[in-house]
Structure 1
């Protein structure tokens, strides 16, 4: 099997290594340059390709005729996409006579579309996984080759779940390749009507609405916790990012009549939610500097805000 691989991130790194270990001839890797606004906490696929002695090039625009020509010149039997950011045009996919396949970070048909791990955590799912599927013009819509599930534990952050999904992607590809290389690629239905589609998330989507139930607030915090940008709240004209939190087993009693939001109780920072439930804030960062905020410092800010409101 001769392949061209579009890819990026940790899933791209691990899946490229699986192809290499299984003896797939990777003729070309197409990947992304890092963006200046990115938090680079993941492996660069260009580094992996260089390590394995595989030719690579950067390709931000899959509609670029020069990129299509590079794929054509590589003469792939198959095309793989492992966390490549952009939709690959059907005209490019058609350059691989034995098909084009994508690794998606969910159990399709659930959570088609962007950032599926974050959406799964946000919605309180207890399971997700990785799915290898055929690529079509419509995103995440082709038949399923194989998939592997992983659990989402109650306190898992999206970053922790992504690590599990990366391993699931590696396992899925390793298991599927022998049949694919022998010309017997499995084809399981991908029934879109039984699933869901979600678009990308914006920074503003990380704003905490403390009037919501504690379970929802906690799921948002888990879904965007570092290495993602983090859930945030504004207080006294300052932005604060909740970097680590937990649902307390036994919540401290708070004075009656407190509004939902950040408070300090028994030397701890807590978030009071609209249903009366609490979220224990273990790490609160000042948004402008990313420095930790102590309970004492927050208590002072809350006192100043209260005094200002009462003037």
Structure 2
């Protein structure tokens, strides 16, 4: 099979899928069509924003389709008429019906941001950090009717650094996913033939991340809170309350300072451009925050601007 003969339909939506689409276009696998989520109203400006995948597809002059659902006979027939050999699906955000998976000769493959069967589901990258894991990775698998249950074609491990945020891990895994995808496409029949079933007994699930999850409970230990802050950054983020106003926490780290006798949530130090907070166990040092109705700022600016003092409290 020559590098130009494979008829691929690419299905993806967020930034995580962009490096893979670019890698395909740069290596002779330009898709015959791209499917992505409809444009959405984004942010406070109420502007209609196209998905990142759409922006790249238009730049590459690839036809773009943005249906609300793939389950209509009309949409399935349109894809059938394109005669794809393969569907490449990366964080598309839609469940593909079996009728669609059965159309291409090679079915559909998916790039997933975990070492399956660990962290099936919507938020594998954030959950790995929140859970304090030291390692994660990327899996390319065949799609079936289940939730990330298909046979695996290849995996690549990646360490999670002690200060790594979800945003940084997203970027790193998206690049690994693009490289692995090209590796698979260059030897697609062999990878398909060697697919390995997942061990369902070892499966874990990464449920969707929600904004309320970001509320800091200062009775938890500093290590757990540090992992939550990193795993929720940059979106949707973590928050606490200071003088009855919401305070977002963008950057923090576990301090080497010893526990104090103060209650959890008490500010125990305000020096060196940092703010130490007593937790249920250990001190968490905040270095970058965002007060309500303000831009994010260094903690030193927050301390000066709000006259923060030792023994002030962060509420939960």
What's the TM-score, normalizing by structure 1? 0.88
Deviation digits for residues 46-91 of structure 1 (CA, Å, limit 9, x no counterpart): 1211222211121232223332232122111111101101211111
| Match status 1:146 vs 2:145 | no
Instruction: Measure, in 1, the Cα distance between the counterparts of 2:10 and 2:165.
Output: 29
Pick aligned residue for 1:244 from 226, 246, 251: 251
| Match status 1:32 vs 2:33 | no
Q: CA deviation at 1:118?
A: 0.2
Task: Give the secondary-structure state (helix, strand or coil) at the position aligned to 2:125.
Answer: helix
2:241: which partner in 1? 234
Contact in 1 for aligned 2:268/2:278 (Cα 8 Å):
no
| Match status 1:77 vs 2:82 | no
Deviation digits for residues 29-62 of structure 1 (CA, Å, limit 9, x no counterpart): 1012343246999971112112222111212322
What runs of 5+ residues in structure 2 fail to find an aligned partner? 1-5
Deviation digits for residues 78-129 of structure 1 (CA, Å, limit 9, x no counterpart): 1110110121111111121221111111111110001110000001111111
Task: Give the secondary-structure state (helix, strand or coil) at the position aligned to 1:294.
Answer: helix
Instruction: Measure, in 2, the Cα distance between the counterparts of 1:222 and 1:120.
Output: 11
Cα RMSD (Å): 2.7
Task: Give the secondary-structure state (helix, strand or coil) at the position aligned to 2:41.
Answer: coil
Instruction: Measure, in 2, the Cα distance between the counterparts of 1:171 and 1:8.
Output: 18
Using the TM superposition, name which of 129-138 and 29-38 deviates more: 29-38
The correspondence of residues 85-100 of structure 1 with structure 2, limited to 5 A, is: 85-100=93-108
1:224: which partner in 2? 232
1:273: which partner in 2? 279
| Match status 1:263 vs 2:267 | yes
Pick aligned residue for 1:286 from 291, 311, 316: 291
Contact in 1 for aligned 2:37/2:51 (Cα 8 Å):
no
2:15: which partner in 1? 10
Instruction: Measure, in 2, the Cα distance between the counterparts of 1:238 and 1:25.
Output: 50
Using the TM superposition, name which of 156-165 and 53-62 deviates more: 53-62
Pick aligned residue for 2:118 from 93, 110, 124: 110
Q: CA deviation at 1:291?
A: 4.4
What runs of 5+ residues in structure 1 fail to find an aligned partner? 307-311
2:54: which partner in 1? 46
Q: CA deviation at 1:304?
A: 8.2
Alignment CA distance shift 1:162-1:138 (3 Å): same
Task: Give the secondary-structure state (helix, strand or coil) at the position aligned to 1:258.
Answer: coil
Task: Give the secondary-structure state (helix, strand or coil) at the position aligned to 1:242.
Answer: strand
Contact in 1 for aligned 2:41/2:49 (Cα 8 Å):
no
Q: CA deviation at 1:231?
A: 0.8
Contact in 2 for aligned 1:129/1:149 (Cα 8 Å):
yes
1:119: which partner in 2? 127
Contact in 2 for aligned 1:18/1:174 (Cα 8 Å):
yes
